[in-house]
Amino acid sequence: MSEYVAPLKDMRFAMQHLAGLEQIVNLPGCEEASPDVVDAILDEAAKFAGQVLSPLNRIGDTNGAQWRDTVVTTSPGFKEAYRQFVDNGWNGLGCDPEFGGQGLPKLLSAAVSEMWKGANHAFSLCPMLTQGAIEALTIAGNDQQQADYLPKLVSGEWTGTMNLTEPNAGSDLAAVRSRAEPVGDGTYRIFGQKIFITYGEHDMTDNIVHLVLARTPNAPEGVKGISLFVVPKFLLDDLGNPGARNDVYCVSIEHKLGIHGSPTAVLAFGDNGGAIGTLVGEENRGLEYMFIMMNAARFNVGLEGLGDAERAYQRAVTYARERIQGTEVGTRGGPKVPILCHPDVRRMLMSMRSRIEAMRALAYVTAGAQDIAHCHPDEGERLRQQAFVDLMIPVVKGWCTESAIDIASLGVQVHGGMGYIEETGAAQHLRDARITAIYEGTTAIQANDLIGRKIAREKAVTIKAVMAEMRTVAGQLDDDLSVIGARLNVAVDALEKAVLWIVDHFAAEPKAVHAGAVPFLYLMGIVSGGWQLGRSALVARDQMRAGDSDPFWAAKLATARFFADHQLTQAAGLAQSVIEGHASLQAIPDECF
């Protein structure tokens, strides 16, 4: 079975030509990311992903994590791989140097994260959740919490979790009922049960730092009454080392469709007198703090979709090259050929490839904007870039994950009947990708956030600026790229029409607007992806005109044209669904379902 190979050439292209790596490494605080450092990190990450993590992907799928009497054992090889991961310094790549991190740009850490996710989705979830805990404690933790936990979390010596939902809550966090009873000195006893806790229990580190949502005794109802607490698996002794066992235990792990190597825990807090925790920040602001973790996680889940899609594509291409079946269309009595030669197989592979390149470009551009928003010396530019990031995170999360499911499904289709057989590995990518559109906020939650907070609330100020940039790119796609430019212009017209309708009708017809929220997210993703591939085509044309004969550039042009022909052409129909689709949705009485 073939192993994951990091697509370094396209990663470097997206980082340098689209996300503006050269500009980012010149920002205050990013100077350490010199070209040779970036290249060395990408090369070493590619080796670790391909040689260490990828061979464990199948093992994790077939063996899974195992639970026995509150103890979870990870899949064979995971513990050793995690130790290498930590020893090599990968966990602290983008973290604050004050706590032992390397402080490298988000753009670089995003590219490295894509490799972990493409090589081994289940393994990558553990450091991903730890990164969220680090961000929350860095922003909202007090001095003692930061001193106690951040150095060990940044190094990866300890891992972190995010404990939000409960058996009766689901995505409705207003229904959270876990309680926190004060015992003095800023300490609380936590009682309740949390579900769907990724790496909530495992054997890879000697402590796990849980960030837990719970209610204090006099908290108001709803989301305004939720507080956030740090609850370690082992309490810390006077030297800051793991000491007495805290009253939090794993009572089971879930049996899932995919990501079997990642233990999804049910955690019980306080069955033996109360789990000891400390308050993060102020009471009743827990959801606000937790959203720090969730926004980081949502972007990273978008990268999971990208990684799953890339791996599915690599496997499908390998099979299409090797599988000999049939003669070429229009040839009688000719030799049998690889299925790569058949038009519909090529269509499927190009559909996979073009969307992956669009997803990568959009994700990296968003990551680069996060660096500018954090480090640029001009406040106005920081605010502008942050508005762009806020707009794009639900798109990266929602569109990339939904696309990944379809791309992984196409990977199965390319394999034909063998794709449905587990031994080929194609089915695992589909099973693993399926969760990405659900956790950290379903696609509908991302879409509702996009149309509400990111468009209607600010009267489309940010998205109008983005659409103006899209039109600038479309205008530059002339001469031999004029078809791509024309299709992008039509797609932006459709996007603009949908945006204006949302702004005009959001307050008076909320049900009608929300009925088209997910189609709008798809529309936004497709047009944004087409915008980035249009930019890619301009770079490729310039390189070719300058005499660079690398076939990479011709492939870039072909991929951008395919996306324009097969994806951007969907924009008008999606806009129509956004604007007119609500009537039929509401027409059927509830009792008819």
DSSP calls for 523-541: HHHHHHHHHHHHHHHHHHH
Q: How far apart are CA 144 and CA 590, in angstroms?
A: 53
From the list 381, 440, 469, 580, the catalytic residue is 440
Q: How far apart are CA 506 and CA 523, in angstroms?
A: 18
Q: Which of 402, 536, 524, 521 is nearest to 466 (CA)?
A: 524
Residues sharing a CB contact under 8 Å with residue 568, sequence separation 6 or more, in sequence order: 487, 488, 490, 491, 526, 527, 530
Contact of 544 with 481, CB cutoff 8 Å: no
Q: Which of 539, 388, 544 is nearest to 476 (CA)?
A: 539
Contact of 14 with 359, CB cutoff 8 Å: no
Q: How far apart are CA 507 and CA 21, in angstroms?
A: 40
Q: How far apart are CA 455 and CA 453, in angstroms?
A: 6
Q: Which of 45, 37, 39 is nearest to 90 (CA)?
A: 45
- The CA-atom distances, in angstroms, between 548 and each of 9, 40, 100, 240 are 15, 25, 42, 58
Catalytic, 181? Answer no
Q: Which of 248, 271, 276, 247 is nearest to 181 (CA)?
A: 276
Positions marked active-site = 440
